[in-house]
Amino acid sequence: MSNHLFDIIADTSHPATHNVVRFPDGSAWTRAQLLERTARYANVLHSLGVKPGDRICLQIEKSVETMALTLGAVRAGAVFVPLNTAYTTAEISYFIGDAEPRLLVCDPSRREALSQAADKAGVTHVETLGADGLGSLASLADAASPDFAPVARGADDIAAILYTSGTTGRSKGAMLSHDNLASNALTLKDYWQFTPQDVLLHALPIYHTHGLFVAINTVLVSGASMIFLSKFDPDQILRLMPQATCMMGVPTFYTRLLQHEGLTRDATKHMRLFVSGSAPLLAETHREWSARTGHAILERYGMTETNMNTSNPYEGDRVAGTVGFPLPGITVRVVDPDTGKHFGVDEIGMLEVKGPNVFKGYWRMPEKTASEFRADGFFITGDLGKIDARGYVHIVGRGKDLIISGGFNVYPKEVETEIDSMDGVIESAVIGVPHPDFGEGVVAVVVVTKTAKLDDKQIIAHLADRLAKFKQPKFVFIVDDLPRNTMGKVQKNLLRDQHKDLFKA
């Protein structure tokens, strides 16, 4: 039997001498070097007693060694569990208690603190790997054999567990199978027309599905290459852009590049594709980007549990404010969240997804898993949206962000779109906070340009004849920035918390 995912990633029809990982200083690793390094890490894992199906938890900075280790884990038949580098020791204690890994890999600076947590959780091995690619695990890999026969793994075996960000309740481990990852990488390669000539600017973190699977796996299965950057830096991105053909980013990459005077038609003329996802891209950003560069950003929609579900077309209209069509082999439907009744064109409801991309369930949470799937196998995404007459999927927000005021549904996106259309407004977030009469009261938090002379009253007045009374914000706050996580998602839970006592007597 083969190793389902690794065999596809390591596709030997691509030349071994191709520079697959390029660094900003001009140096590179060939496919042969990368694959050899995965064999060394697989040997190390094997020698530490990691058996097929065993978990290994990684809390390490982005580097090519980290990438080689994750691929080495797949090669060794292990299940790798990448953890956000911002997590505290207390948070890591929860994750290793839950995942029960054979091995924890951390930054050398955290070894002492995390070893105690590992001891408590019964984790027998703690090794280190730093941002510079050095550490005890890298030393073991240096000394290990460069040959390793991939451990047999089937399509349904688990390759990785990614913990969801868990803004409500406990963080859940999404189990992703070899075929969840392989099928999605092959689909994206075809849909976005990746070829061995492509060079991807890779500036995303690699503990999250976007940088880890969408970016790395798509590049590797295509025989393409990536310029591997430790973080997003607009100056560096623009300097390297002439060497690249495509970029994948979260919306904040695009808004920050738009603030840079170096972003011009000329600077982007070598590029064929800009992809955005992980959070909504403002229609305004899409339009500004087209005007400045001549490129229409391709927006797609996915989540940790499902990989990528929909994408705007490579050829054809990339419609701003939509996330495009269901990808081939994937079905998306809109249903009434309470009754499960199927909705028609333009009706807003819960988005549900089915396909080879959809995960195998939450780690050790069978009841939670069962409650998030319908009897016919569709996964309930938690996102509210609609499908228009042309088949484009629109997302109107997370189900949990839906506001119910006086018994009426208020979709935050609808109110945000009206506010964002005002001159001088950069962006807004509309939330519901506890209200003694209405259950929830609508509140808007708005970012305006430095030169705008807008105040809360003008914004409320602007909405007066545009939105029904129950949708109009009772309070508007002007702020400098909206709170965002590293993937660019607005953290509405923080805003709700900040304003939770607003309507209290």
**Binding residues for ligand AMP, per CB under 6 A?**
164-165, 209, 277-280, 299, 301-304, 323, 381, 383, 395, 398, 487
User: How deeply is 422 buried, as exposed, middle or buried, from its count of CB atoms within 10 A (0-12, 13-18, 19+)?
Assistant: middle
Q: Helices 89-99 and 111-121 sit at what angle, rounded to 10 degrees?
A: 40
Q: Which is nearer to ligand AMP, 77 or 488 (CB)?
A: 488
CB 279, min distance to ligand AMP, A: 5
Q: Which is nearer to ligand AMP, 4 or 492 (CB)?
A: 492
- How far is Cα 151 from Cα 6, in angstroms, rounded to an integer? 9
- How far is Cα 270 from Cα 257, in angstroms, rounded to an integer? 16
Residue type, 225: S
Tokens of 325: 């069509």
Q: Which is nearer to ligand AMP, 135 or 280 (CB)?
A: 280
CB 208, min distance to ligand AMP, A: 6
Neighbours of 480 (CB within 10 A): 7
Q: Which is nearer to ligand AMP, 372 or 383 (CB)?
A: 383
Q: Are strands 349-354 and 331-335 parallel, antiparallel or unpaired?
A: antiparallel
CB 192, min distance to ligand AMP, A: 15
Q: Are 419 and 406 in contact (CB under 8 A)?
A: no
CB 489, min distance to ligand AMP, A: 6
Distance in Å from the first CA to the final CA of the chain: 67
Q: Which is nearer to ligand AMP, 183 or 307 (CB)?
A: 307
CB 303, min distance to ligand AMP, A: 3
- How far is Cα 497 from Cα 479, in angstroms, rounded to an integer? 16
Q: Which is nearer to ligand AMP, 43 or 276 (CB)?
A: 276
CB 358, min distance to ligand AMP, A: 13
CB 121, min distance to ligand AMP, A: 25
- How far is Cα 471 from Cα 481, in angstroms, rounded to an integer? 23
Helix (H) or strand (E) holding 478: strand 475-479
Q: Which is nearer to ligand AMP, 278 or 357 (CB)?
A: 278
Which are the contacts of 14, defined by CB distance < 8 A and separation ≥ 6? 31, 196, 223
- How far is Cα 246 from Cα 237, in angstroms, rounded to an integer? 11
- Phi and psi angles of residue 110, each rounded to the nearest 5 degrees, phi first: -110, 5
CB 260, min distance to ligand AMP, A: 23
Q: Which is nearer to ligand AMP, 150 or 173 (CB)?
A: 173
